Chain A
């Protein structure tokens, strides 16, 4: 598995405290029970910490799927 996806999965597992979580490009908030707006913010902050990047408020607010998130991560990592 691509290391970035592995790291992103670990972030999800830690934020939701659930080792069974497995995300891919199509995963959205509807797929994970606890994923409300406050969890979304915590999730983005945790992704920032893991990948050493920074999102803007609007970037955080507008993400619709984990696929888009991963694209943003890759974009900001280069």
Chain B
């Protein structure tokens, strides 16, 4: 167990139920191409993976450092557009992917450093407002530069040969599945997300991560002890942006498409906020639990809303409220309610139960 403990950076789930849940999620996601070979379920599984990384990187900011950013989708989008634009202009290939990723990382780090140095000096509340303004401007910019970004339509591009759907190295199916580029892309995502997630877990459990939590709890005291809170907050911001960029790059590889709606839109930002809150702020595992619950709900609950809408058709106000287009309304209500009544999220609840059981026995 010590090896596993070290891999998890001495931050075990601390709840039997949570541990079981995580193991199930891990195994199911690892074997997803065999278990659910359908197109929709595979895209849902890929989306879960990307969101785990994206939300975990946001949790570094919100849950661990205690600052609210509304520009996280901007960095997510930079990563996705980096891959998309490079692959479209240079042609498919690993060179294009590498170059696009490098360019995206440079842009993201530079931009997040600038925003952080500018707005984290003064007040945390400034940061929220300024990131909102910058993200809105960036979104407009992306749709304006349509020669470059494809505008509102986005870009469709091809992956390197290994990851393209036409790539089928084996003649015969392996365990009942004909392995193709799609499956390899999925496993690339899986490995990358697992490694990066463990890296994030390592970061938040390092001495550096402890300083971030100290700043979250009381920035005045942290400063008094001798930590330059501005520097720590800025580094946290840059790290979060970096991981979000990587998540965006993975999304682009799995979709072979980038567009404003899938990366930059405010809806994605709301999704991230909701997942962080549902999963549990300040717990990296919350990102996993939240992303799984949320993406599954989003993929299959919308169908349920459609069923509900047909059931109440004809009832004047109710049919408008339950329409699948009003999905965001129920998301918002859920968000407000969970911030009030459920502030520690699923992981926090499971952990406090485990603690209560331990105290009782």
Same complex origin of A and B:
no
A residues contacting B by CB (< 8 A) are none
B residues contacting A by CB (< 8 A) are none
